[in-house]
Amino acid sequence: MKTYNVLTIFPEMIDAVFKQGVISKAVDKGIVSINSVNIRDYAEGRHLVTDDYQYGGGAGLVMKVEPIYEAVSALKEKSDTFVVLLDPRGKKFDQKAAEHMASNYDNITFICGRYEGVDERVRELVVDMELSLGDFILTGGEFAAITVIDSIARLVPGVLGDEASADEESFTTGMLEYPHYTRPVEYKGLSVPEVLMNGNHSEIEKWRMEKAIEITRKNRPDLLNIKELDIETRKKLCAEQKRGLSKKLKLNVALMHYPMKDKQGDTVATAITNLDLHDISRSCRTYSVENYYVVTPIVAQREIASRVINHWMGGFGSTYNPNRMEAFSHTMLMDSLSEAVLDIEKRHKKRPLIVATTARPDRATITAKYLGVISEEQPVLIIFGTGWGFADEVLETADYILEPIEGVGEFNHLSVRSAVAILLDRITEI
């Protein structure tokens, strides 16, 4: 039998919740035991005080170390128990943690903090693990304890009516779960998808995989870590996602040559380079970018770049290297950023989000993964700089600033060609 102890100053909260539902039935069957422990029973003095003012000043009370220590000690005299402190400072609880705790510990004690938390010595004396539900604050650890216990206990054999129920749920497979339907077939104009009723199990499995990928990418792109998936799921995920990705993303790239800063901080126009023209065009076509805009107000610069592009698009270069012709097929020369924005707006009937790039982490306002999600719904123009960075007026036009690329050492000076390729790969990552 699995035993879950809950140290709290409100034991009635715990008792009330687990008198209902699936877990209560497991308690009745003797599969699990929920034991609420009143911390006040281990407090001293007439008023059974469990909290006090904090040393050093500050708002809020702190839960005292003595009653918590004594309560845990009393439990350990009866049975060895793994002690978990529920606290915002803890590691984020997830399905993998639930699976680990369900299979590795028969007796777990949860300490429910309140107010400003517990005296630090509680951690040092009795705590084996600290857990947090996420990046938000609750009025007390009881709510977290209830959630964690429910998540763990339902994985204990015999708790769920159907043992297979937990096998394909959200997070268990590394993705969110596919949609479910039951009778009636049609309700208020919405029907059950035909594929679920045709009896073709391979088609049903394929549909469910596609929907799981679609829902996960939309709502929780952070979960799509293919390294953690089994080989078959990884193959399906890559194949299904890549097949439709190029048609969905509304990504555009602009390489700005004005207004830029020089080494002294003055506003200047930089020169178009042959390498930037070729390599960024190739990267943009590789990642199905709609258009690559080369932006400069200098007419002579645009004329030189135009001769290069025309050579590969219609001259000898088009037959000598058709791949290079394809790379340049979506490269456009513009005299200003506003002209590029207008071109995208004409195609999509909507102004694109302008996303600037930077090498400074403190300026970033959006991650590459989230930008990939946004670009499925609306047009995006990512602007890259040359010289010594954008003039201030360029950054002021941006809706977001993309998280930078950071290396493993102190040197951090990638070429813009490399930066474009790396960021496009991150944005389209599956």
**Closest-CA residue to 79 (of 2, 27, 24):** 2
Q: What's the pLDDT score for residue 255?
A: 98
Of all residues in the chain, the percent with pLDDT exceeding 70 is 91
What does the pLDDT look like over 86-105, one tens digit per residue? 999 999 999 999 999 999 99
| Domain ranges for the chain | 2-165, 186-246, 249-427
Determine the 3-state secondary structure of 140 from DSSP: strand
Alpha helices in 156-200 (DSSP H): none
Whether 410 shows a pLDDT value over 80: the answer reads: yes
Whether 84 shows a pLDDT value over 80: the answer reads: yes
**Closest-CA residue to 216 (of 203, 199, 229):** 229
The b/e string for 3-40 (b: 16+ C-beta within 10 A; e otherwise) is bbbbbbbbbebbeebbeeeebeebbeeebbebebbbbb
Domain spanning 2-165: CATH 3.30.450.20: no
Strands of 50-165, DSSP E:
51-53, 61-63, 82-92, 107-112, 129-132
Over range 140-167, report the average pLDDT.
88
Residue 331 CA to residue 328 CA, distance in Å, equals 5
What does the pLDDT look like over 364-378, one tens digit per residue? 999 998 999 899 899
Residue 284 CA to residue 287 CA, distance in Å, equals 5
Of all residues in the chain, the percent with pLDDT exceeding 90 is 79
Provide the 8-state DSSP code for 9.
S
Do residues 281 and 295 touch, judged by C-beta distance below 8 A? no
Domain boundaries 249-427, CATH class:
alpha beta
**Closest-CA residue to 83 (of 169, 198, 4):** 4
Q: What's the pLDDT score for residue 239?
A: 64
What does the pLDDT look like over 173-222, one tens digit per residue? 678 889 999 999 999 999 999 999 999 999 999 899 888 888 887 888 77
Residue 299 CA to residue 45 CA, distance in Å, equals 86
Domain spanning 186-246: CATH 3.30.460.80: no
190-191 and 186-187 as β-strands: parallel, antiparallel, unpaired? antiparallel
Residue 86 CA to residue 110 CA, distance in Å, equals 7
Provide the 8-state DSSP code for 77.
H
